[in-house]
Amino acid sequence: MLTVDFSRFPLAPGDRVLDLGCGAGRHAFECYRRGARVVALDRNAEEIREVAKWFAAMEEAGEAPAGATATAMEGDALALPFPDESFDVVIISEVMEHIHDDKGVLAEMVRVLKPGGRIAITVPRYGPEKVCWTLSDAYHEVEGGHIRIYKADQLLARIREAGLKPYGTHHAHALHSPYWWLKCAFGVDNDKALPVRAYHKLLVWDIMKKPLATRVAEQALNPLIGKSFVAYATKPHLPPVDAA
């Protein structure tokens, strides 16, 4: 289940991509399949080991084209172990709402991104996320949980302050918002509640089968209750220096 829309965020074979806070690796895997040279980085060592296993399995199965590479590594988003201007593309999906120093993370992403490079940032959308916070303290008051809710204009302002130029936004995963509302209403750790189990089955069916009816429904509902807000931006080229 991808949050970044690659029709709005195109990759070229050979692009060097950083998936920052990669988690289980869903965006990193897609970039690898598209021929990129991918680095998946996360602070969670266990998840990085799993991502590395999946990269190896994908290579063995021939899922990535010739020239594509994939590396999984543990690291700190506030102190990226890469030189300046190392990447053509940076993706950070559902991460910034967890980090106290979000300006610091943005600064590091801009540092390692090449001029003319592209960034995709996704965060929980304000409205659906606010419902979850209202229904359940346990949803966000956990170690490593969400510490803020971004409004769209607030995130875009942060992006501009970091020196990036936004060029597009959209919402995603409308069908997932009611699921999380149910989880918060019945208890975030209560997977046995009938409404939660029934809706989860619907989501699994939707992800596996991709029926037209749910695709159309989600596209119609995304502007209203899309669970994620997605922003795309570029790093401007610096103006030429006048030698005189």
Looking at residue 240, its pLDDT comes to: 56
Query: Is the model's pLDDT at 239 over the cut of 90?
Result: no
What total of structural domains would you count in the chain? Answer: 1
Q: How far from the centroid of its chain's Cα atoms is residue 85's Cα?
A: 21
Domain-located, residue 15 = no
Is residue 126 included in any domain, yes or no? yes
- 10 part of a folded domain: no
CATH number of the domain bearing residue 112: 3.40.50.150
- Helices in the chain by DSSP H: which ranges? 26-33, 45-61, 102-112, 126-135, 152-161, 176-186, 194-209, 212-225
109 in any annotated domain: yes
Q: Are 3 and 228 in contact (CB under 8 A)?
A: yes
Q: Are strands 165-172 and 228-234 parallel, antiparallel or unpaired?
A: antiparallel
pLDDT tens, residue by residue, 162-184: 999 999 999 999 999 999 999 99
Q: Is 208 left (phi over 0), alpha (psi -120 to 50) or beta?
A: alpha
Q: Which domain holds residue 80?
A: 76-136+143-173+227-235
Question: pLDDT category, 242, cuts 50, 70, 90?
Answer: low
- What's the chain's average pLDDT? 95
Cα(237)–Cα(110) distance, integer angstroms: 12
pLDDT at 17 over 50: yes
Chain segment 34-53, per-residue pLDDT in tens: 999 999 999 999 999 999 99
> pTM, whole model, 2 decimals?
0.94
